[in-house]
């Protein structure tokens, strides 16, 4: 790998701006410097391994991928705890129940939304099964990896724009 998306200077700047963590879909550099910056970091570039050809080669890759996914799953709870603490400091009220209820609702809503995305593959692209992927499996794949997440990001942005960002006293 010849390039990196994040180094020590950028991580320090993010920390100074009050960021709790950074997720990088790529590689990092200045690892010694990054260890000194008190910021959460998840770099997915470490998963760029050659695909294993057998069980013994697949086990370490599975452990690495599982560790990465475990970190992502835990990171949401850590960030939510930080948001709750900052909200309590700003407003003087503890509202963990509200935050965890909304967080749980969003997590449970993701299952039906995933099912809907896969259900749309048949009417839109003629997908039946892995053996019969329809006339245009590339478009179906692009739909799943680009259109569905893009729509979710736009929806999240719209909802965030409606949220009042100033703290009422």
137: pLDDT confidence band, cut at 50, 70 and 90?
Answer: confident
Q: Which helix (DSSP H) or strand (DSSP E) does residue 80 occupy?
A: helix 55-91
Q: Does 3 have pLDDT greater than 70? A: no
Measure the CA–CA gap between 2 and 148, rounded to whole angstroms: 31
- More confident of the two residues 59 and 93: 93
Q: Does 67 have pLDDT greater than 50? A: yes
Q: Does 12 have pLDDT greater than 70? A: yes
Q: Residue ranges of the domains in the chain?
A: 1-48, 112-164
Mean pLDDT, the chain, whole residue set = 81
Q: Determine which of 42-56, 81-95, 101-115 has the lowest per-residue pLDDT on average.
A: 42-56
pLDDT at 17: 86
Q: Give the start-end residues of each E strand in 15-143.
A: 21-24, 40-43
Model confidence pLDDT, tens digit, residues 89-117: 999 999 999 999 988 898 898 889 889 98
pLDDT at 159: 85
Alpha-carbon distances of 111 from 38, 53, 88, 108, 126, rounded to whole Å: 34, 32, 31, 6, 22
pLDDT at 85: 93
Contacts of 82 (CB under 8 A, 6+ apart): 20
Measure the CA–CA gap between 60 and 161, rounded to whole angstroms: 43
- Rounded percentage of the chain residues whose pLDDT exceeds 90: 13
Q: How many CA atoms lie within 13 A of 25 on its CB side?
A: 0
3-state secondary structure 108-123: HHHHHHHHHHHHCHHH
Phi-psi region of 69 (alpha: psi -120 to 50; beta: other; left: phi over 0): alpha
pLDDT at 162: 86
Contacts of 65 (CB under 8 A, 6+ apart): 47
């Amino acid at each position: 790998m010849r390039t990196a998306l994040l180094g020590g200077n950028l991580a320090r700047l993010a920390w100074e701006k009050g960021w709790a963590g950074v997720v990088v879909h790529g590689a990092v550099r200045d690892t010694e410097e990054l260890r000194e910056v008190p910021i959460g970091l998840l770099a997915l570039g470490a998963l760029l391994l050659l695909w294993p050809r057998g069980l013994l080669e697949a086990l370490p890759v599975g452990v690495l991928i599982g560790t990465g996914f475990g970190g992502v799953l835990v990171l949401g709870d850590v960030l939510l705890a930080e948001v709750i603490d900052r909200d309590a400091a700003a407003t003087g009220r503890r509202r963990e129940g509200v935050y965890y209820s909304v967080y749980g609702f969003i997590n449970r809503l993701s299952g039906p939304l995933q099912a809907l995305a896969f259900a749309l593959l048949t009417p839109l692209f003629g997908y039946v099964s892995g053996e019969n992927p329809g006339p245009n499996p590339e478009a179906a794949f692009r739909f799943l990896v680009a259109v569905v997440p893009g729509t979710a990001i736009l929806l999240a942005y719209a909802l965030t724009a409606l949220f009042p960002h100033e703290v009422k006293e």
